[in-house]
Amino acid sequence: MSEDDLKDIEELKKVLEVVGEKVPPLVTGLLNSVLNKQNAEDYAKQVSSFYKELRESGMSEEHAMELTRSFMESRDPMSVIRKILSDSDIRSDIFSGKKRKAEREEEDEDDEE
């Protein structure tokens, strides 16, 4: 195993340790906020009030539903997390050591040609 491989393994080990420390409390907090009865009731009231105001202002049912769906997604913690993860390069950050190794191998192949 090369020195670069050992560095990549050590870097991955550090990343996994941080993930192991930080992720469980984050998930617990998110689940508690999502599954909390009071939060669910407040969320339902906000959504229904939003829809009702749109309809009372004369908006069509179809458009009011479309906007209400967007409103719900913007306030749903799990939807927000999914959006953040899909919009970020977190996956490539986690596997950056692997990417660097692949890039080095490509460079070595180019040098051989």
**Type and span of the H or E element at 5:** helix 3-35
Percent helix, strand, coil in the chain, to 5, is 90, 0, 10
For residue 16, the enclosing domain spans 3-112
Tally of structural domains, the chain: 1
Write down the pTM of the prediction: 0.48
The residue count of the chain comes to: 113
Tens of pLDDT, residues 7-41: 889 999 998 898 888 888 888 887 777 678 888 88
Q: What is the DSSP letter of 42?
A: H
Digit-coded pLDDT (tens) for 34-76: 678 888 888 899 999 999 999 999 999 999 999 999 999 888 7
Phi, psi of 53 (to 5 degrees): -65, -40
Tally: H helices and E strands in the chain? 6, 0
Q: Are 77 and 30 in contact (CB under 8 A)?
A: yes
